[in-house]
Amino acid sequence: MINVGVIGVGVIGQDHIRRLSHVLSGARVASVTDVDQERARSVATGLPGATVAATGEELIASPAVDAVVVTSWGPTHEAYVLAGIAAGKPVFCEKPLASTADACSRIIDAEVATGRRQVQVGFMRRYDAQYRAVREVVAGGSIGTPLLMHAAHRNPSVPPHFTSDMIINDSAVHDIDVARWMFDDEIASVSVFKPRQNRKASRGLDDPLVLLLEMSGGVLVDVEVMLNASFGYDIRGEVVCEDGTVELSESAGAVVKAGGRYSGRVPTHWVERFARAFDTEFQEWLDTIAADVEPTGPSCWDGYAATVVCDAGLAAQRSGQREPVVLRERPDLYKTE
Amino acid sequence: MINVGVIGVGVIGQDHIRRLSHVLSGARVASVTDVDQERARSVATGLPGATVAATGEELIASPAVDAVVVTSWGPTHEAYVLAGIAAGKPVFCEKPLASTADACSRIIDAEVATGRRQVQVGFMRRYDAQYRAVREVVAGGSIGTPLLMHAAHRNPSVPPHFTSDMIINDSAVHDIDVARWMFDDEIASVSVFKPRQNRKASRGLDDPLVLLLEMSGGVLVDVEVMLNASFGYDIRGEVVCEDGTVELSESAGAVVKAGGRYSGRVPTHWVERFARAFDTEFQEWLDTIAADVEPTGPSCWDGYAATVVCDAGLAAQRSGQREPVVLRERPDLYKTE
Amino acid sequence: MINVGVIGVGVIGQDHIRRLSHVLSGARVASVTDVDQERARSVATGLPGATVAATGEELIASPAVDAVVVTSWGPTHEAYVLAGIAAGKPVFCEKPLASTADACSRIIDAEVATGRRQVQVGFMRRYDAQYRAVREVVAGGSIGTPLLMHAAHRNPSVPPHFTSDMIINDSAVHDIDVARWMFDDEIASVSVFKPRQNRKASRGLDDPLVLLLEMSGGVLVDVEVMLNASFGYDIRGEVVCEDGTVELSESAGAVVKAGGRYSGRVPTHWVERFARAFDTEFQEWLDTIAADVEPTGPSCWDGYAATVVCDAGLAAQRSGQREPVVLRERPDLYKTE
Amino acid sequence: MINVGVIGVGVIGQDHIRRLSHVLSGARVASVTDVDQERARSVATGLPGATVAATGEELIASPAVDAVVVTSWGPTHEAYVLAGIAAGKPVFCEKPLASTADACSRIIDAEVATGRRQVQVGFMRRYDAQYRAVREVVAGGSIGTPLLMHAAHRNPSVPPHFTSDMIINDSAVHDIDVARWMFDDEIASVSVFKPRQNRKASRGLDDPLVLLLEMSGGVLVDVEVMLNASFGYDIRGEVVCEDGTVELSESAGAVVKAGGRYSGRVPTHWVERFARAFDTEFQEWLDTIAADVEPTGPSCWDGYAATVVCDAGLAAQRSGQREPVVLRERPDLYKTE
């Protein structure tokens, strides 16, 4: 039984607590903390034997905690992840790894100094069965070398405070990670195009947005991000290779014929679409801890690279130009043979 | 943490042990037994703290066991289920509940005498997300009263010892339970039709077979059962209502275009098709135990009714006639309001 | 330019006139007649150079008519087809070939006596691109020997005067012809099952109905016929072979995502579903006339066999029993090598 | 019966001759000509009553010709279209209308001077049932204002002489016309992106290519053009609107399950994909001639605009920059109210 400490018990933190407590095998939540101690205490009430730590640092240091989940506010991530590394404990950090490229870089330095991967970053699409099936076909080589990818990321709606920066940093960041993972390659440049604005979008919000990502190896990825799609949470992806294409299918379920139409469900929320991916992500993470091996999921390098690409995306959003992505050298720790 | 004892550690028993130990939340396997004690000991080795009981009865009686899973040979089910009821412990019994209608009836009597449902029978399709989606549409009433159901149950292959009786008792029994559950109604008669035999079927095996089930309320259900389909494990179902139809969709996954075709995967094994349904089935069962409420899954009545319908199916297979289904009166314990 | 005479200018006759005049190549309507002479005159007004014949016999005899289309009331077909054969002119007769098996048999005798096929019967599904694609796969043998076929024939609604006999004679007759053509085999017996009645059906109408057709070679065909489906005109068909299955796809068109659903159109009328099949049927018929070869479409034998099977279906509908189909010997003229 | 003259009897010319002679209603080919007179004579042999004209001009002037189809080499189009206008005869001109924007402009001037539309340009996708269904949904407004369109144009292969210019002028030109027609709007700028080259493409060929078209109203259209897709002729299109999306469906036909896959056909040639669109295009054109009304299909303005956009595309292909599209003022003759 792995004793997990959770830093930050907002919506996403509570969802992971539910997952660790009631869905997955081999873990329990042993301690929680939150900037809002009241909320932490309230959450702990429902968790048999769980303590409330005064701070993230205290939680990380506690001998009752074997592994740490960081789901607090983005700007606090760096400190907690560094503390987790220092304590030699496995850390699962929700994206972003840290809020600036420099901060991510410092985490990399700290982890590299330990000589062992300890941190996993929460890019959950890598655990989605459909994305995995697509990647397996691409990697299998049966349809040849990849040339292009078309992607769409459609959210039914976003809260009024959602900004144009967040379209890149909070939404497109998932597609950026998917592109890097799908082709096992870095993104070399980013361009941004702004179509006619959706009238349901707040004044000044660049919604929808089209990103063009050029991979180092030449694959071109276009990503439509639309945050006021209203009709559903619709994630599309198609990889075009030299001898064929492969794409995510429409979600399964019941097909109804009525009123002159056949129809099926489009998910209405990212929770519905990716619930299983979150479960798999955490179970695989717990399994590596139980087996005392390095995590196999997204690394600090992946968190760093995603942040640098997002920065280029923000620059392209402002300049209207193709903006290059410049990465530091990749440490050996993160090289895959 | 619920301590589960497992009686019978063959293929299906071991799969449930894996599920309870490594996939689901809130349970551990505390004890196992098997007619082959060597095998029981070997399986127990991989289960921290698990004991090996000499007999099912010993396992059921053990204070270290909170709940019992029966996955032994069918003809032994009756004795273990009755012992579990007598011991006042929750029992999950793989289908069949017992191998004769009379045996099922005796279990009903024993359970009714306790005044409380303790037994759940393993008809896992009720936990499949697609079947649930179809049933939800039917029950929701948006497409009107149901009139017909078309079903197909295609297995890529069966072992050489598979008999024509087993087509009814081991394969079609799932479709029989689905029909009862889908329409919340009993089956009134069964007819069996034998198309041209599949050349891959063993000599004398009635493969494929078509069952016609007439529900008490008039819904007609046709079920194609084909056990040497070779191309995959293909489960189809469509309910036709007065104002529309609803059907299971093809399985999701990657859609590939290559060589002049678009294509997607058909599952190749029932494990692939129903793995998630088994997980859900067990997690929901464990959750009722943790909450100390009666099980919500298939009851002894469902196990009894399925067995009586199978008997009628076997009779129809021999007679070529429409055979009636005659059930005992349904005890109040199994009435849904 | 083939000069066509049309006997019977009701709805279907007028549709064929439109097809011959404005859609297809190589034909014109030279003469029309109808029991309602007023209507015949009115229709002729829009057809440059077309005459109105007083009777079908006069039209057939006219030297201005090269080929005859019979779209009059069913019971009149026999006389017109016989007259066409006697006149040595190509005849296209809408189904039924004649209203009784004996009448069909007399037509066969007359045609056989001429030593040459002159008559084509209007089973238009044989010309539908989807049905043809299914049959091509079955005949190609890539998925093995056929064992079963599942079919559904769903009409949004029927007029109040529609009778239970007409379900067999006017609706299921198409599925009966498809089964014979798909497997190049005769139907050996017919059973009829009556599910719960659709409340939208007139009192006493056996709607829906399930037919079970057993082919001589052992293939079993089940056909759902539902005439008050309300949601659309929905034609389904799946052939199950030893190594795979093949089915009609859903109709193509625009796929819309809106309001939480993806959806596509279901045709609402048989005209929408089969318009192209009618065009192809007639163009291929005209092409055989232009080339002065025998027609390649459904023959008098097909018309006769369909009528005999319908008679067995009507008997089964009344008896509730499996009814055998007994055909006369097949003349050499209708044997395919 | 409309007497059509055909200038240029190469592959596409012969296909239109077959269509006019054997598929459509109301026309015959009365005269043909070709720069290769031998070929013209050979083609005329199979056409009852057809003459061979020495030149296009002679054919246009012939009193035996009611309407003219121009399917000769692109650079010759201008002269023939101008002659057709001068002769007051309906002209159907395969794309391009003329090989330069200036030449197109001269044709516009000539047609405007007559005060009546006489010329239709061969953008056949406007007649495809699927494209029409998509446009109908967009125009119907049920899913809101359009914001984006994603398109793919995949050809299995191209001849060795195919150049990068031809990717724009011969392939993407269809997508350019679709964008203008779909949104009833002009294209304001073109950008071109070059992904990794397909190894099956000839040295130096920009294959695949991605075009970004910005419409005057703000809709952004991305078009993937891939000419060595090998797996099939695959045309995709999805319009994203404020409240939903609508896309071309996969082509219908037989769906096969075999070998662990369900699959359906992808067309292998543009003839297979668009045969019906060509038929509809010509039949509607003939119908306007028979009715003596102006053509309703793509106009000289559409031909001109497509050529100007192609020029901008070629510039963008070279510069790597976003290139503006500058059109002359639109004459009243081509304004739709």
Q: What is the DSSP string of B9-66?
A: -SHHHHHHHHIIIIISSSEEEEEEE-SSHHHHHHHHHTSTT-EE-SSHHHHHH-TT-S
pLDDT band at B337 (very low <50, low <70, confident <90, very high): low
* Integer CA distances (angstroms), B278 to A282, B69, B73, B275, B287, in order: 20, 13, 19, 5, 14
Secondary structure (H, E, C), A40-96: HHHHHHCCCCCEECCCHHHHHHCCCCCEEEECCCHHHHHHHHHHHHHCCCCEEECCC
Q: In the predicted model, is pLDDT for residue B264 greater than 60? A: yes
Give ipTM to 2 decimals: 0.95
Q: Are strands A146-154 and A220-226 parallel, antiparallel or unpaired?
A: parallel
Pick the residue from chain D with its C-alpha nearest to C239.
D256
β pairing state of C261-265 and A261-265: antiparallel
| Neighbouring residues of D261: CB distance < 8 A, sequence distance ≥ 6 | B263, B264, B265, B266
Strand pairing class (A244-248; A234-241): antiparallel
Q: What is the pLDDT of residue B132?
A: 97
Residue A139 neighbours by CB under 8 Å, 6+ apart: none
pTM, to two decimals: 0.96
Give the 3-state secondary structure of chain D. CEEEEEECCCHHHHHHHHHHHHHCCCEEEEEEECCCHHHHHHHHHCCCCCEECCCHHHHHHCCCCCEEEECCCHHHHHHHHHHHHHHCCCEEECCCCCCCHHHHHHHHHHHHHHCCCCEEECCHHHHCHHHHHHHHHHHHCCCCCEEEEEEEEECCCCCCCCCHHHHHHHHHHHHHHHHHHHHCCCEEEEEEECCCCCCCCCCCCCCCEEEEEEECCCCEEEEEEECCCCCCCEEEEEEEECCEEEEECCCCCEEEEECCEEEEECCCCHHHHHHHHHHHHHHHHHHHHHCCCCCCCCCHHHHHHHHHHHHHHHHHHHHCCCEECCCCCCCHHHCCC
What's the pLDDT at A250?
80
Q: Is A142 in Cβ contact with B258 (below 8 Å)? A: yes
Q: Which chains touch C (3 or more CB pairs under 8 A)?
A: A, B, D
Q: Confirm if D264 and D225 have CB atoms less than 8 A apart.
A: no
- Whole-number Å distance between alpha carbons of C328 and C107: 13
Which among D258, D261, D268 has CB closest to B265? D261
Chain A residue whose CA is closest to C257: A231
CB contact under 8 A, D232 and B260: yes
Q: What is the pLDDT of residues D273-329, one digit of tens each?
A: 999 999 999 999 999 999 999 999 999 999 999 999 999 999 999 999 999 999 999
Q: Residue A253 has what pLDDT?
A: 83
Give the mean pLDDT of B132-147.
97
What is the reported pLDDT for A337?
57
What is the spatial distance between Cα B17 and Cα B7, in angstroms, rounded to a whole number? 11
Token representation of residue C47: 């057809």
Tell me the pLDDT tens digit for each residue of C242-289.
999 999 988 778 999 999 999 999 999 998 999 999 999 999 999 999
Q: Which band of pLDDT confidence, cut at 50, 70 and 90, is reported for residue C337?
A: low
H/E stretch holding B150 reads strand B146-154
Question: Which residue type occupies C148?
Answer: L
Instruction: Tell me the average pLDDT of chain C.
Output: 96
Confidence of residue B191 (pLDDT cuts 50, 70, 90): very high
Using CA of residue D142, residue D148, residue D154, residue D160, what is the dihedral sign? positive
CB contact under 8 A, C263 and A262: yes
When pLDDT is cut at 50, 70 and 90, the band that residue B250 belongs to is confident
Quick one: pLDDT band at residue C315, thresholds 50, 70, 90?
Answer: very high
Please give the Cα distance from A223 to A226 (Å, whole number). Answer: 10
Rounded Cα gap, residues C299 and B241, in angstroms: 37
Can you tell me the distance from the alpha carbon of C52 to that of C45, in angstroms, rounded to the nearest whole number?
10
d(C-alpha D56, C-alpha D59), whole Å: 5
* Touching C: B residues 216-275, CB under 8 Å: 217-220, 222, 224, 226, 228, 230-231, 234, 240, 242-245
How close C131 comes to chain D (CA, Å)?
Answer: 8
C-alpha closest to that of B221 among C172, C168, C210, C152: C210
Task: Kindly list the residues from chain A whose CB atom is less than 8 angstroms away from the CB atom of residue C231.
Answer: 257-260
Interface touch B254/A24, C-beta < 8 Å: no
**Looking up tokens 């129903």, which residue turns up?**
B274
pLDDT of A252 reads 73
Which residue of chain D comes nearest to B254, CA vs CA? Answer: D261
Q: Is the pLDDT assigned to residue C210 strictly greater than 60? A: yes
For A231, the closest of D195, D231, D244 (CB atoms) is D244
Contact A210 D148 (CB under 8 A): yes
- What's the pLDDT score for residue C252? 73
Tell me what pLDDT residue C329 has: 97
Q: DSSP H helical segments within B62-193, as ranges?
A: 77-87, 101-114, 129-140, 164-166, 173-183
Nearest by CB: C244 against B197, B212, B231 = B231
CA distance C59 to C37: 13
Of C21, C25, C253, the CB nearest to D23: C25
* pLDDT tens-digit map of B233-246: 999 999 999 999 99
In chain C, what residues touch D23 (CB-CB under 8 Å)?
A: 25, 283
**C213-223 pLDDT tens trace:** 999 999 999 99
**Positive/negative CA dihedral, C138, C142, C144, C147:** negative
pLDDT, tens only, D30-57: 999 999 999 999 999 999 999 999 999 9
Residue A251 has a pLDDT of 73
* pLDDT number for residue B311: 98
For an interface test with C, the pick among B194, B245, B261, B266 (most C C-beta atoms closer than 10 Å) comes out as B245
CA nearest to D136 within chain C: C254
Higher pLDDT, C324 or A250: C324
Of the candidates B52, B54, B110, B51, which has an alpha carbon nearest to the alpha carbon of residue B84? B110
- Over residues C108-123, the mean pLDDT reads 98
Give per-residue pLDDT as tens, C47-62.
Answer: 999 999 999 999 999 9
Task: Give the pLDDT confidence of B39-76 residue by residue, as tens digits.
Answer: 999 999 999 999 999 999 999 999 999 999 999 999 99
Q: What is the pLDDT along chain D (337 residues), one digit of tens a residue?
A: 999 999 999 999 999 999 999 999 999 999 999 999 999 999 999 999 999 999 999 999 999 999 999 999 999 999 999 999 999 999 999 999 999 999 999 999 999 999 999 999 999 999 999 999 999 999 999 999 999 999 999 999 999 999 999 999 999 999 999 999 999 999 999 999 999 999 999 988 999 999 999 999 999 999 999 999 999 999 999 999 999 999 998 877 899 999 999 999 999 999 899 999 999 999 999 999 999 999 999 999 999 999 999 999 999 999 999 999 999 999 999 997 5
Integer CA distances (angstroms), C185 to B264, C213, C296, D184, in order: 33, 12, 17, 54
Question: Which chain D residues touch C23 with a CB distance below 8 Å?
Answer: 25, 283
Cβ contacts below 8 Å, chain B against chain D, sum to 42
Peptide bond into B159 cis (omega under 30): no
Tens place of pLDDT for every residue, chain A, 337 residues? 999 999 999 999 999 999 999 999 999 999 999 999 999 999 999 999 999 999 999 999 999 999 999 999 999 999 999 999 999 999 999 999 999 999 999 999 999 999 999 999 999 999 999 999 999 999 999 999 999 999 999 999 999 999 999 999 999 999 999 999 999 999 999 999 999 999 999 988 999 999 999 999 999 999 999 999 999 999 999 999 999 999 998 877 899 999 999 999 999 999 899 999 999 999 999 999 999 999 999 999 999 999 999 999 999 999 999 999 999 999 999 997 5
Q: How confident is the model at residue B200 (pLDDT cuts 50, 70, 90)?
A: very high
Q: What mean pLDDT comes out for the span C70-85?
A: 97
8 Å CB contact between D140 and D319: no
Instruction: Enumerate residues 6+ apart whose C-beta is below 8 A from D318.
Output: none
Q: What is the pLDDT, as a whole number, of residue D251?
A: 73
CB distance D214 to D189 below 8 Å: yes
Please name the residues between 45 and 84 in chain B that touch chain A, using a CB distance below 8 Å: none
Cα–Cα distances in Å, from D150 out to A209, C58, D157? 13, 61, 22
Residue C119 in contact with residue C295, Cβ under 8 Å?
yes
